[in-house]
Structure 1
Protein backbone atom coordinates (compact mmCIF):
# COMPACT_ATOMS: atom_id res chain seq x y z
CA UNK A 1 0.00 0.00 0.00
CA UNK A 2 1.23 3.46 -0.92
CA UNK A 3 -0.58 6.51 0.50
CA UNK A 4 -1.14 9.35 -2.02
CA UNK A 5 -2.67 12.79 -1.44
CA UNK A 6 -5.58 12.35 -3.86
CA UNK A 7 -7.25 9.71 -5.98
CA UNK A 8 -6.77 11.83 -9.09
CA UNK A 9 -3.09 12.31 -8.38
CA UNK A 10 -2.47 8.64 -7.68
CA UNK A 11 -0.63 7.85 -10.88
CA UNK A 12 1.09 11.23 -11.00
CA UNK A 13 2.42 10.70 -7.48
CA UNK A 14 3.73 7.19 -8.07
CA UNK A 15 6.99 6.73 -6.24
CA UNK A 16 9.95 6.34 -8.59
CA UNK A 17 10.36 2.71 -7.54
CA UNK A 18 8.70 -0.22 -5.81
CA UNK A 19 8.97 -0.06 -2.00
CA UNK A 20 9.86 -3.76 -1.98
CA UNK A 21 12.45 -4.24 -4.72
CA UNK A 22 13.15 -0.80 -6.25
CA UNK A 23 11.65 -1.92 -9.58
CA UNK A 24 9.66 0.44 -11.81
CA UNK A 25 5.94 0.88 -11.08
CA UNK A 26 3.24 1.24 -13.71
CA UNK A 27 -0.53 1.81 -13.47
CA UNK A 28 -2.57 -1.37 -12.97
CA UNK A 29 -6.31 -0.73 -12.78
CA UNK A 30 -8.32 -0.13 -9.63
CA UNK A 31 -8.72 -1.71 -6.22
CA UNK A 32 -12.23 -2.37 -4.92
CA UNK A 33 -14.41 0.63 -4.14
CA UNK A 34 -15.25 1.19 -0.49
CA UNK A 35 -16.92 3.70 1.77
CA UNK A 36 -14.92 5.57 4.39
CA UNK A 37 -16.75 7.14 7.35
CA UNK A 38 -15.80 10.71 8.19
CA UNK A 39 -16.59 12.83 11.23
CA UNK A 40 -20.26 13.48 11.77
CA UNK A 41 -21.21 10.27 9.99
CA UNK A 42 -20.75 11.48 6.41
CA UNK A 43 -19.39 8.85 4.03
CA UNK A 44 -16.90 9.19 1.20
CA UNK A 45 -16.67 6.65 -1.63
CA UNK A 46 -13.06 5.74 -2.40
CA UNK A 47 -11.87 3.70 -5.40
CA UNK A 48 -8.08 3.61 -5.21
CA UNK A 49 -5.80 3.09 -8.19
CA UNK A 50 -3.29 0.25 -8.23
CA UNK A 51 0.26 0.04 -9.52
CA UNK A 52 2.27 -3.03 -10.43
CA UNK A 53 6.02 -3.47 -10.12
CA UNK A 54 7.75 -4.67 -13.26
CA UNK A 55 10.53 -6.27 -11.20
CA UNK A 56 8.87 -8.32 -8.44
CA UNK A 57 5.38 -8.23 -10.06
CA UNK A 58 3.74 -7.14 -6.80
CA UNK A 59 0.62 -5.01 -6.92
CA UNK A 60 0.46 -1.90 -4.72
CA UNK A 61 -2.73 -0.02 -3.83
CA UNK A 62 -2.45 3.77 -4.13
CA UNK A 63 -4.62 4.58 -1.12
CA UNK A 64 -5.85 8.20 -1.08
CA UNK A 65 -4.94 10.10 2.07
CA UNK A 66 -8.62 10.71 2.87
CA UNK A 67 -8.76 7.01 3.74
CA UNK A 68 -5.14 7.13 4.83
CA UNK A 69 -5.11 3.82 6.61
CA UNK A 70 -5.40 0.39 5.02
CA UNK A 71 -8.21 -1.90 6.08
CA UNK A 72 -9.99 0.80 8.08
CA UNK A 73 -13.55 1.95 7.47
CA UNK A 74 -12.96 5.35 9.07
CA UNK A 75 -11.27 8.43 7.66
CA UNK A 76 -7.84 9.33 8.97
CA UNK A 77 -9.29 12.47 10.61
CA UNK A 78 -11.51 10.30 12.84
CA UNK A 79 -8.61 8.02 13.83
CA UNK A 80 -6.41 11.07 14.44
CA UNK A 81 -9.02 12.66 16.71
CA UNK A 82 -9.15 9.44 18.75
CA UNK A 83 -5.35 9.32 19.08
CA UNK A 84 -5.18 12.95 20.19
CA UNK A 85 -7.89 12.33 22.78
CA UNK A 86 -5.94 9.33 24.11
CA UNK A 87 -2.78 11.41 24.47
CA UNK A 88 -4.85 13.95 26.42
CA UNK A 89 -5.69 11.20 28.92
CA UNK A 90 -9.15 10.05 27.83
CA UNK A 91 -10.09 6.39 27.85
CA UNK A 92 -11.06 4.41 24.77
CA UNK A 93 -14.72 4.03 25.84
CA UNK A 94 -15.21 7.79 26.29
CA UNK A 95 -13.48 8.46 22.98
CA UNK A 96 -15.65 5.84 21.27
CA UNK A 97 -18.81 7.43 22.66
CA UNK A 98 -17.75 10.88 21.41
CA UNK A 99 -16.94 9.57 17.94
CA UNK A 100 -19.95 7.20 17.77
CA UNK A 101 -17.70 4.23 17.03
CA UNK A 102 -17.47 0.85 18.80
CA UNK A 103 -15.13 0.82 21.82
CA UNK A 104 -13.25 -2.20 20.43
CA UNK A 105 -12.56 -0.30 17.20
CA UNK A 106 -11.15 2.72 19.02
CA UNK A 107 -9.10 0.48 21.30
CA UNK A 108 -7.66 -1.21 18.18
CA UNK A 109 -6.66 2.16 16.68
CA UNK A 110 -4.93 3.16 19.90
CA UNK A 111 -3.12 -0.17 20.27
CA UNK A 112 -1.97 -0.14 16.67
CA UNK A 113 -0.69 3.44 16.81
CA UNK A 114 1.04 2.76 20.13
CA UNK A 115 2.72 -0.32 18.63
CA UNK A 116 4.00 1.79 15.71
CA UNK A 117 4.74 4.91 17.78
CA UNK A 118 8.53 4.79 17.44
CA UNK A 119 8.37 4.18 13.66
CA UNK A 120 5.82 6.99 13.29
CA UNK A 121 8.06 9.34 15.28
CA UNK A 122 11.18 8.38 13.31
CA UNK A 123 9.45 8.72 9.91
CA UNK A 124 7.89 12.04 10.89
CA UNK A 125 11.17 13.52 12.13
CA UNK A 126 12.98 12.32 9.00
CA UNK A 127 10.42 14.09 6.80
CA UNK A 128 10.45 17.20 9.01
CA UNK A 129 14.25 17.49 8.77
CA UNK A 130 14.17 16.89 5.01
CA UNK A 131 11.71 19.77 4.66
CA UNK A 132 13.48 22.04 7.19
CA UNK A 133 16.93 20.93 8.38
CA UNK A 134 16.99 23.67 11.06
CA UNK A 135 13.96 22.33 12.94
CA UNK A 136 14.34 21.42 16.58
CA UNK A 137 12.78 18.11 17.63
CA UNK A 138 9.62 18.46 19.72
CA UNK A 139 10.12 18.10 23.48
CA UNK A 140 9.23 14.73 25.06
CA UNK A 141 5.61 14.39 26.13
CA UNK A 142 5.95 11.48 28.53
CA UNK A 143 4.40 8.81 26.32
CA UNK A 144 5.50 7.06 23.14
CA UNK A 145 2.23 7.88 21.40
CA UNK A 146 2.42 11.51 22.51
CA UNK A 147 5.99 11.78 21.22
CA UNK A 148 4.94 10.25 17.89
CA UNK A 149 2.01 12.63 17.45
CA UNK A 150 4.17 15.63 18.44
CA UNK A 151 6.75 14.64 15.81
CA UNK A 152 3.98 14.12 13.27
CA UNK A 153 2.57 17.56 14.06
CA UNK A 154 6.04 19.05 13.60
CA UNK A 155 6.42 17.34 10.21
CA UNK A 156 2.97 18.41 9.01
CA UNK A 157 3.56 22.01 10.13
CA UNK A 158 6.95 22.07 8.38
CA UNK A 159 5.44 20.67 5.18
CA UNK A 160 2.64 23.25 5.22
CA UNK A 161 5.11 26.10 5.84
CA UNK A 162 7.34 24.94 3.00
CA UNK A 163 4.85 23.65 0.42
CA UNK A 164 1.57 25.33 1.31
CA UNK A 165 -1.57 23.53 2.37
CA UNK A 166 -1.71 20.59 -0.04
CA UNK A 167 -4.34 18.70 1.93
CA UNK A 168 -5.94 18.54 5.37
CA UNK A 169 -3.38 18.07 8.18
CA UNK A 170 -4.39 14.47 8.99
CA UNK A 171 -4.24 13.59 5.29
CA UNK A 172 -0.68 14.93 5.18
CA UNK A 173 0.05 12.93 8.34
CA UNK A 174 -1.20 9.75 6.67
CA UNK A 175 1.02 10.47 3.67
CA UNK A 176 4.06 11.19 5.85
CA UNK A 177 3.65 7.97 7.84
CA UNK A 178 2.83 5.88 4.79
CA UNK A 179 -0.25 4.52 6.54
CA UNK A 180 1.43 3.62 9.85
CA UNK A 181 -1.49 5.07 11.80
CA UNK A 182 -3.28 1.83 11.00
CA UNK A 183 -2.60 -1.88 11.33
CA UNK A 184 0.64 -3.64 10.57
CA UNK A 185 0.88 -4.00 6.78
CA UNK A 186 0.21 -7.52 5.53
CA UNK A 187 3.03 -9.35 3.84
CA UNK A 188 2.84 -12.28 1.47
CA UNK A 189 1.97 -15.48 3.22
CA UNK A 190 0.24 -13.78 6.17
Structure 2
Protein backbone atom coordinates (compact mmCIF):
# COMPACT_ATOMS: atom_id res chain seq x y z
CA UNK A 1 0.00 0.00 0.00
CA UNK A 2 2.85 2.40 0.73
CA UNK A 3 3.94 2.19 -2.90
CA UNK A 4 0.44 3.13 -4.12
CA UNK A 5 0.22 6.11 -1.80
CA UNK A 6 3.75 7.11 -2.76
CA UNK A 7 2.88 6.91 -6.44
CA UNK A 8 -0.09 9.20 -5.78
CA UNK A 9 2.14 11.70 -3.99
CA UNK A 10 4.68 11.64 -6.82
CA UNK A 11 1.97 12.19 -9.43
CA UNK A 12 0.55 15.12 -7.47
CA UNK A 13 4.04 16.63 -7.16
CA UNK A 14 4.21 16.66 -10.96
CA UNK A 15 0.86 18.45 -11.23
CA UNK A 16 -1.71 15.67 -11.61
CA UNK A 17 -5.10 16.11 -9.97
CA UNK A 18 -6.73 13.67 -7.57
CA UNK A 19 -9.23 12.34 -10.12
CA UNK A 20 -6.54 11.61 -12.69
CA UNK A 21 -4.39 9.96 -10.04
CA UNK A 22 -7.34 7.88 -8.80
CA UNK A 23 -8.05 6.55 -12.29
CA UNK A 24 -4.40 5.81 -12.93
CA UNK A 25 -3.99 3.93 -9.64
CA UNK A 26 -7.40 2.28 -9.60
CA UNK A 27 -8.43 3.86 -6.30
CA UNK A 28 -11.52 5.86 -5.31
CA UNK A 29 -11.09 9.61 -5.89
CA UNK A 30 -12.12 10.40 -2.32
CA UNK A 31 -9.39 8.12 -0.98
CA UNK A 32 -6.73 9.71 -3.15
CA UNK A 33 -7.95 13.20 -2.30
CA UNK A 34 -7.63 12.34 1.39
CA UNK A 35 -4.04 11.13 0.97
CA UNK A 36 -3.10 14.26 -0.94
CA UNK A 37 -4.74 16.61 1.55
CA UNK A 38 -3.09 14.96 4.54
CA UNK A 39 0.33 15.11 2.89
CA UNK A 40 -0.18 18.71 1.75
CA UNK A 41 -1.14 19.80 5.26
CA UNK A 42 2.22 18.67 6.60
CA UNK A 43 4.42 19.01 3.52
CA UNK A 44 6.81 21.60 4.97
CA UNK A 45 7.35 19.54 8.13
CA UNK A 46 7.82 16.34 6.08
CA UNK A 47 10.41 18.11 3.94
CA UNK A 48 12.20 19.18 7.12
CA UNK A 49 12.30 15.67 8.57
CA UNK A 50 13.63 14.09 5.39
CA UNK A 51 16.13 16.90 4.80
CA UNK A 52 17.43 16.32 8.34
CA UNK A 53 17.91 12.63 7.56
CA UNK A 54 19.67 13.52 4.34
CA UNK A 55 22.06 15.88 6.12
CA UNK A 56 22.79 13.20 8.73
CA UNK A 57 23.56 10.55 6.12
CA UNK A 58 25.88 12.39 3.75
CA UNK A 59 29.31 13.92 4.19
CA UNK A 60 28.58 17.03 2.12
CA UNK A 61 24.90 17.95 2.46
CA UNK A 62 25.30 21.03 0.26
CA UNK A 63 26.18 18.75 -2.64
CA UNK A 64 22.92 16.81 -2.47
CA UNK A 65 20.25 19.11 -1.08
CA UNK A 66 17.32 19.19 -3.49
CA UNK A 67 16.57 22.41 -5.31
CA UNK A 68 13.15 23.99 -4.79
CA UNK A 69 10.61 21.90 -6.70
CA UNK A 70 7.93 24.54 -7.21
CA UNK A 71 5.58 23.94 -4.27
CA UNK A 72 5.73 22.80 -0.67
CA UNK A 73 4.17 19.51 -1.76
CA UNK A 74 6.77 18.92 -4.49
CA UNK A 75 9.56 20.04 -2.15
CA UNK A 76 8.50 17.39 0.37
CA UNK A 77 8.47 14.66 -2.28
CA UNK A 78 11.91 15.84 -3.46
CA UNK A 79 13.20 15.65 0.12
CA UNK A 80 11.92 12.07 0.45
CA UNK A 81 13.69 11.19 -2.80
CA UNK A 82 16.95 12.84 -1.71
CA UNK A 83 16.91 11.03 1.64
CA UNK A 84 16.20 7.76 -0.18
CA UNK A 85 19.19 8.31 -2.45
CA UNK A 86 21.34 8.86 0.64
CA UNK A 87 20.00 5.66 2.25
CA UNK A 88 20.69 3.76 -0.96
CA UNK A 89 24.25 5.02 -1.21
CA UNK A 90 25.04 4.31 2.43
CA UNK A 91 23.02 1.23 3.35
CA UNK A 92 20.73 -0.59 0.90
CA UNK A 93 21.26 0.13 -2.78
CA UNK A 94 17.79 -1.11 -3.70
CA UNK A 95 15.76 0.55 -0.93
CA UNK A 96 12.38 1.55 -2.44
CA UNK A 97 11.63 5.24 -1.95
CA UNK A 98 8.31 4.91 -0.21
CA UNK A 99 9.51 2.07 2.01
CA UNK A 100 12.25 4.43 3.21
CA UNK A 101 9.57 7.05 3.85
CA UNK A 102 7.54 4.52 5.79
CA UNK A 103 10.55 3.49 7.86
CA UNK A 104 11.54 7.08 8.66
CA UNK A 105 7.98 7.92 9.70
CA UNK A 106 7.54 4.57 11.47
CA UNK A 107 4.56 3.91 9.24
CA UNK A 108 2.92 7.19 10.18
CA UNK A 109 3.60 9.35 7.11
CA UNK A 110 -0.09 10.29 6.77
CA UNK A 111 -1.12 9.69 10.38
CA UNK A 112 -2.30 12.54 12.61
CA UNK A 113 0.51 14.01 14.65
CA UNK A 114 3.39 13.04 12.38
CA UNK A 115 5.65 14.78 12.12
CA UNK A 116 5.17 16.73 15.31
CA UNK A 117 4.52 20.43 14.71
CA UNK A 118 7.52 22.70 15.21
CA UNK A 119 7.64 24.44 18.57
Moved over 4 A (4+): none
Q: Is the 8 A contact 2:84 2:95 kept in 1?
A: no
Alignment match of 2:38 (pick from 104, 109, 112): 112
* Cα distance in 2, alignment partners of residues 87 and 124 from structure 1: 16
Q: TM-score, normalised by structure 1?
A: 0.55
> In the alignment, what sits opposite 2:104?
176
Q: How far apart are residue 121 of structure 1 and its match?
A: 0.6
Match of 1:98 among 6, 24, 40: 24
Distance 1:117 1:106 in 2: 16
Matched, 1:145 2:73: yes
Following the alignment from structure 1 to structure 2, what is the Cα–Cα distance between the partners of residues 166 and 142?
A: 28
Counterpart Cα distance in 1 of 2:108 and 2:78: 15
Task: Kindly indicate whether the alpha-carbon contact (under 8 Å) linking 2:50 and 2:80 is maintained by their aligned counterparts in 1.
Answer: yes
**SS in structure 1 of the partner of residue 27 of structure 2:** coil
| Structure with a larger share of its residues in strand | 1
* Match runs of 1:61-140 below 5 Å: 75-136=1-62, 137-140=65-68
Distance (whole Å) between structure 2 residues aligned to residue 154 and residue 102 of structure 1: 30
Aligned twin of 2:87: 159
- For the residue of structure 1 that corresponds to 2:61, the secondary structure is coil
Instruction: Indicate the structure whose relative CO is greater, using CA pairs within 8 Å and at least 6 residues apart.
Output: 2
Deviation at 1:166, TM superposition (A): 6.3
| Number of residue-to-residue matches in the alignment | 112
Mark the runs of 5 or more structure 1 residues left unpaired by the alignment: 1-74
